[in-house]
Amino acid sequence: MNLLLDTHVWIWSLLSPEKIAARTRKRLVAEDTQLWLSPISAWEALMLVERGRIEVEGDGPEWVDAAWKAGPYREAGLTYEVATASRRIAVPVRDPADRFLVATASVYGCTFATADSRLQNIPGVSVLKA
């Protein structure tokens, strides 16, 4: 399974794995799972550190770099196709980061792992509830 992690799922997997449903935690470490991250998640994590919404060791850029390298993550790049899909897919939130993440999952053919109930029923987007 190709699994694109929502930013909070990525951060929780590193800092608070108990916040993730048990079946989703198992899926994150399953041999047949490829974990994908968007650069949008790195940007969101940096913003959360800067705003004091999450506490990490060291400074934000160092932590994000180490966190990115810590797992066997594949990068789901922000492409022209992702940008256009972010406006074509009916995402029920205004947050541009969420729109880009949903579009990224769609374009890359990934299941989107999220705990955000607003993003769990978008037509045409496969979701794993975290």
Letter for the amino acid at 66? A
User: pLDDT at position 79, please?
Assistant: 98
* Burial category of 109 from C-beta neighbours within 10 Å (exposed 0-12, middle 13-18, buried 19 and up): exposed
Cβ neighbours, 10 Å, residue 73 = 16
Angle between helices 7-15 and 39-50 (to 10 degrees): 60
Q: Per residue in 22-70, pLDDT tens?
A: 999 999 999 999 999 999 999 999 999 999 999 998 899 999 999 999 8
pTM (global) more than 0.75? yes
Q: Cβ contacts of residue 81 below 8 Å, gap of 6+? A: 107
DSSP 91: -
CB-CB contact of 75 with 36 (8 Å)? yes
The whole-angstrom separation of Cα 69 and Cα 77 is: 16
All domains of the chain, ordered by start, with CATH?
Answer: 2-129 (3.40.50.1010)
Q: Per residue in 70-115, pLDDT tens?
A: 889 999 999 999 999 999 999 999 999 999 999 999 999 999 999 9
The whole-angstrom separation of Cα 82 and Cα 5 is: 16
